[in-house]
Copies of this chain bind each other. A is one copy, B any other.
Amino acid sequence: MSIGLILGSSRTKSNSRKLADILIKGTAHKILDITELSLTDFEDFRHEPIPASLDESTQILLDFLLEHDVIVIAAPIYWFGIPGKLKVLLDRLSHVFRQPAFINQKPREAIILAVGGDRPRIKGLPLILQFHQIFDFLGIPFQHYVLAEGNKPGDVRFDQKALAEVAWLRSYLQKGENDEGHI
């Protein structure tokens, strides 16, 4: 099993990254960090023929999804939803989901870690409902998420409940790894 971690914060030492680091420590993983992507303006792909070649960041996203069994998206909650730049990337799923390679080899699970400062376990729910619809549409099972509290940089380390949930998720992912090893 390999984990693909998509980092959606614009800060390099974000609370969402800290939480993700705890989750993936000691596991086989790769990181796709949106701060390292130069995303051009969004274009609506839906009513055009699929172009012969994908734009660079769409190709990066497709390759990343193909490469990993479990996709973890770790992001801050900005204005009660997905951060703009991360959404600019995810909007490229409009091209990704029609690629034969993706249809034949989807990740087997998606996990969301989202950190917010304003009652995230309640006010983050529309974001979870949105990701639920996204992953249902993509055909990627989605059942686990952590809504953590963190306002100032580093704060998330004080959210004991989120840490307990991430600890559980970590053992869950490691168990998945071992189960796979048995096959």
Contacts and interface: CB of A to CB of B under 8 A. Distances in A.
A81 B76 contact: no
A29 interface: no
Interface in A119-135: 119, 121-123, 125-130, 132-134
A102 interface: no
Contacts of A2: none
Interface in A132-166: 132-134, 137, 142-145, 151-153, 160-161, 164-165
Contacts of A167: 164
Given A39-B41, A80-B130, A161-B172, A119 B143 contact: yes
A97 B91 CA distance: 27
User: Which 7 pairs from chain A and chain B are nearest by CB?
Assistant: A84-B88, A84-B87, A126-B129, A164-B168, A80-B133, A42-B85, A126-B126
29 contacts: A42-B85, A46-B151, A47-B152, A78-B87, A78-B91, A79-B87, A79-B90, A79-B91, A79-B137, A80-B130, A81-B87, A83-B91, A84-B85, A84-B86, A84-B91, A85-B88, A87-B87, A87-B88, A121-B145, A122-B128, A122-B129, A122-B143, A123-B133, A126-B127, A126-B133, A160-B168, A160-B172, A161-B165, A161-B168
Interface of A: 9-11, 14, 38-39, 41-44, 46-47, 76, 78-91, 93-94, 117-119, 121-123, 125-130, 132-134, 137, 142-145, 151-153, 160-161, 164-165, 167-169, 172
